[in-house]
Structure 1
Amino acid sequence: MTGHVVVMGVSGSGKTTVAEGVVARTGWIFAEADAFHPQANIDKMASGTPLTDEDRWPWLRDLAAWMAEHGAKGENTVITCSALKRVYRDVLREDVAALEGEHRVVFAHLDGSAEVLAARLEGRRGHFMPASLLQSQIDTLEDLDPDEDGVRLDLTEPPAPLIDQVMGSVAPGQ
C-alpha cells in the first residue's frame, strides 16, 4: 500500500513540526504546500487579503498531482496543507484515488483554540501569512467528516505524541 499524509490545519497550528516528525520516522518524501503557491497567492495573503476558492483550485490540483506522481512510483509522501474545506480535501484525494493499487490519503488535522493559534502567530517571524488572516481561516475550516480517512489532533500536545497519533492512523501498531 502507498500512503500519503496531509498534515492539515490553519496557519500556526504546527503542521510543519508534525510533518517533519512523521518524515523523520518514515523517510517518506516531504513537501510544504506553501512552496506550491503561485507568487500571486503569496502576494495576496501577504497584503492581508484572504484567498478565494478560485485562488486555491490550481494550487490544490498541483498538490494532488504531486502526491499522485509519487504514488504512481510506489513512493509515500507527507505534505503540509491547510486543507480547510471538505471540497479541498476531495481535490487532494482525486488523483491518488485514480491510481491503480491500494493508496491512502490520511488527513492529520491539528486543531485548537483561536487564542492559542493567535499567540503562536504573533511570535512567528519570516512567514508571508499575517496573523490578521487567522480568523478567515478559522471561519473557513470544516472538520473532517466521519467518512474521511483521518485523525483530529489537539495542537496543544507536545510534538512526539502528535506524531505517534499520526503514525497510529497511517500504520496501526507502530
Structure 2
Amino acid sequence: MQYPATHLVVMGVAGSGKSTIAAALSKHLGWASAEADEFHPQANIDKMSQGIPLQDEDRWPWLQEIQNWMTEQARAGHSTVLTCSALKQSYRRLLSEAEGRVLFIHLDGDAALLSQRMQGREGHFMPPTLLPSQLATLEPLTAEELEAGSLRLDITRSPEELIAAILVALKLPSGKTPCAN
C-alpha cells in the first residue's frame, strides 16, 4: 500500500518547544527535518535581531521557500518534520499547498511560561521582547484544521508525553516512513 508523503509542521510561538519536539519526532520516525528559521532571508533575521516584528510581506517569501522544500521532499519520497511558527491560518493554508499530507502540531502554552522559556535560551536571534507580537498574531487552529488531523497540545506536558501523544493521535509508525520508496 502506498501513502503520500506526510509533513508534520510543529508550530507555535517562540519558546513553545518546537525545535525540541521536531527533533525528537524526526529521530523517532526517521524522517527528514528542517527548522523554518533556516529559510529566513538575512533581512528577516536582521529585523528580528533588532526587536522588529516581521510583517506579512516579510513572511510570504519565507513561507513559500518552506513550502517548496516540503514539495521537493515529497517528490523525493520523503516525509518530513519541520518547525514553523505558522501563526496565521493564511500561512498554514500556503504551507498546506505543498505536495503530500500536511498536518500541524500546535504547541500551546501561556505567556508566562513561554516568556520564562525564552529568557533561558541562548544563541537565538529572536529576543523575548517579540513574544507579545507573536501572541497577538497567533490564530489558533480552526475546527476544520483539527478535524483534518492537526493537533493542539499543551506545553506543560513533558517532551516524552508530547511525542507519545502525537504518535498515538496521528497513528504514526515508529521508524518507518509512510511514503512509498
State the TM-score bracket (shorter-chain normalisation): over 0.9
The alpha carbon displacement at 1:74 in A equals 1.6
Amino acid at match of 2:107: L
| Shift >4 Å, 4+ stretches | none
Report the count of equivalent residues: 168
Query: Identity of counterpart residues, as a percentage?
Result: 52
2:127 maps to which of 126, 130, 152: 130
Determine the structure 1 residue equivalent to 2:67: 64
Q: 2:179 is matched with which residue? A: none
The amino acid that maps onto 2:33 is F
Counterpart-to-counterpart distance in 2, 1:70 and 1:3: 10
TM-score by length of 1: 0.93
| Contact 1:121–1:131, Cα closer than 8 Å, also in 2 | yes
Report the 3-state secondary structure (helix = DSSP H, G, I; strand = E; otherwise coil) of the residue aligned with 1:108.
strand
Question: Aligned partners of 1:11, 1:136: CA distance in 2, in Å?
Answer: 11
Q: C-alpha deviations, 1:63-83, integer Å up to 9, x for none?
A: 001001111122100100000
Provide the rounded CA distance (Å) in 2 between the counterparts of 1:58 and 1:25: 31
- Equivalent positions of 1:46-65 (< 5 A) are 46-65=49-68
Q: Cα RMSD (Å) of the superposition? A: 1.2
- Which amino acid in 2 is paired with 1:121? M
CA distance in 2, matches of 1:151, 1:86: 14
Shift, 1:173, TM fit? 7.6
Counterpart CA distance in 2 for 1:117 and 1:48 is 17
Say if 1:14 and 1:78 are closer, same or farther in 2 by CA, change over 3 A: same
For 2:169 and 2:45, the matched residues in 1 are separated by 32
1:20-169 mapped onto 2 (5 Å cutoff): 20-96=23-99, 103-148=100-145, 149-169=149-169
SS in 1 for 2:156: coil
- Conserved? CA contact 2:29–2:173, under 8 Å: no
Give the superposition deviation at 1:104. Answer: 1.2
Kept in 2, the 8 Å contact 1:3–1:170? The answer is no
- Partner SS state of residue 132, structure 2: helix
Unaligned runs of 5+ in 2: 175-181
TM-score by structure 2 length?
0.89
Which residue is equivalent to 2:178? Answer: none
